[in-house]
Amino acid sequence: MGQDKATLLFRGKPLWQIQLELLRKLKPMEIFVSARTDPTWRPRDVLFVADVPPSRGPLSGLTAALDQIHTSHLLAFAIDMPWMAEKYLKLLCAQIEPGRGVLPKIGNRTEPLAAIYPREAAAEFRAALAGSDFSLQTLARGLVKAGKLREIPVTARETKFFLNANEPSDLQVAEVARVDRLL
């Protein structure tokens, strides 16, 4: 992408600020930012968790965060999903159970970066990181099979929450499409 995705502007704010404001509405006990290095934009009240080396992308960050949490569950939420709704995240939070989290599923693909993991999944995360398959999809399927995650079907109307920005133009294209639908 050529720059830190978190600093991309969307509707006049950087993505990190949009996501942080949304998470704060949920009133979590703690908020982590996981990355290879501590980002310069990180607010002081947000804890930095270094990815477990060697960095294997989101798998490294989630593994590190699960080892740091002081709660029973971890809400994983990607920085590049600025269309996520507070109401939807609250719906996910309301469906967790002791030792079991929730995993949104669109069609036959899960959304592991907008999911809630139980602390009990930490061993599986560490094992995946020590193995050769670093796919969150593979790990998520295993956690579903083990009963540590429950898949939550995403409705057609809810799919918009899971749009993500892989390039700066994605933010502009999606915003133009949204505006066009409103006209």
CA distances, 32 to each of 49, 69, 100, 181 (Å): 6, 9, 21, 35
Q: Which two tokens stand for residue 114?
A: 């907008």
Checking if the pLDDT of 1 tops 70, the result is: no
What CA–CA distance (Å, rounded) separates 16 from 105?
A: 24
Checking if the pLDDT of 182 tops 50, the result is: no
pLDDT at 183: 35
The arithmetic mean of pLDDT across residues 130-144, rounded, is: 96
pLDDT in tens, 20-53: 999 999 999 999 999 999 999 999 999 999 998 8
Q: Which of 78, 72, 74 is nearest to 22 (CA)?
A: 78
The arithmetic mean of pLDDT across residues 94-118, rounded, is: 97
Opening angle at CA 147, ends 141 and 148, nearest 5: 80
pLDDT at 58: 93
CA distances, 25 to each of 2, 6, 119, 153 (Å): 31, 19, 22, 24
The arithmetic mean of pLDDT across residues 71-77, rounded, is: 97
What CA–CA distance (Å, rounded) separates 92 from 98?
A: 14
Phi, psi (deg, nearest 5) at residue 103: -135, 110
pTM: 0.90
Checking if the pLDDT of 67 tops 80, the result is: yes
Q: Which domains does the chain have, with CATH numbers?
A: 5-182 (3.90.550.10)
Phi, psi (deg, nearest 5) at residue 109: -120, 135
